[in-house]
Amino acid sequence: MKVKTLAIIVIIIAAGLAAGLIWYFYFGPGAKVVVVMGTSADFPPFEYVAENGSIIGFDIDIAKYIANKYGWTLKIKDIAFEGLIPALQAREIDMIVAAMTITSEREEVVDFSIPYYNASQGILIRAGEPDITKIEDLYGKKIGVQAGTTGENWAQENLADKCEIISYPRVYDALMALKAGYIDALILDEPVANYYSKTDAEIVKASYVIETGERYGIAVRQGETDFLGKINAALREMFETGYYDQLIAKWFG
């Protein structure tokens, strides 16, 4: 009788412990959270598809650092830039890390992290074509932009009555159009223009840079303050430890 009671007590305690462990690792503070990052992988060196098919870049390394710090499993979804905010709101992704500029329009629908990179707009043209040194040189030309970007906005505001503006969901389609002569110039973030002018012999960056003074941030759904606080803490840690500078050297050096 005594042995039986003891056995029952032991079983109850063991079952309680097991349930506790299961709770801890699946639902509690020990849970491995899956965080889905959305990006538009057409923007080297921030995010692009490597030859082996994996998505790599500066933004990916930043997201990996953040995920590692908190033990999150990082998943990456490649979505055309203009679809990123809708995907965030539809909960298909948890954060946008896509060289996304912090703007007041976007801040009405998402929350941004602290800024992590500064950029302006650059212009790509075909190699051998006359340089573009001022805005007037763009007048009368066919201008390509990526749909939903600040570059598209700038073109609409400054060139709409002087140029034909064509928006492409993906940067690589705009590049093809440029090389094929279907457009004359492509406006996109300057660091990405630099990358393409260095890696593709058919195109060069024009000397005219549109000083827009943009700052990139990571976007999350509004009100997810805990999540955003963690992202910001990880970014600050990257700045302070020098890891950020290492990434700059790796991707822009």
Q: Is 101 in the site for ligand ARG (CB under 6 A)?
A: yes
Task: Determine the interface stretch with ligand ARG among 11-19, 34-42, 136-144, 240-248 (rule: CB under 6 A).
Answer: 34-42
Angle at 16 between CA 12 and CA 21, to 5 degrees: 150
Question: Least separation, in Å, of the C-beta of 122 and ligand ARG?
Answer: 11
Q: What is the DSSP string of 164-179?
A: EEEEESSHHHHHHHHH
Nearest to 218 by CA among 66, 83, 92: 66
Q: What is the DSSP letter of 131?
A: P
Residue placing its CB nearer to ligand ARG in the complex, 78 or 237: 78
Residue placing its CB nearer to ligand ARG in the complex, 60 or 99: 99
Q: Is 190 in the site for ligand ARG (CB under 6 A)?
A: no
Residue placing its CB nearer to ligand ARG in the complex, 118 or 133: 118
Q: Which two tokens stand for residue 140?
A: 């009368």
Task: Determine the interface stretch with ligand ARG among 22-30, 98-106, 160-168, 174-182 (rule: CB under 6 A).
Answer: 98-106
Provide the pairing of β-strand 203-205 with 73-78. Answer: unpaired
Q: Is 61 in the site for ligand ARG (CB under 6 A)?
A: no
- Which sign, positive or negative, has the C-alpha torsion 27, 95, 38, 248? negative
Q: Which two tokens stand for residue 57?
A: 């870049």
Q: Is 100 in the site for ligand ARG (CB under 6 A)?
A: yes
User: Which residues make up the interface to ligand ARG (CB under 6 A)?
Assistant: 39-40, 42-43, 47, 81, 98-101, 146, 149-150, 171, 189, 214
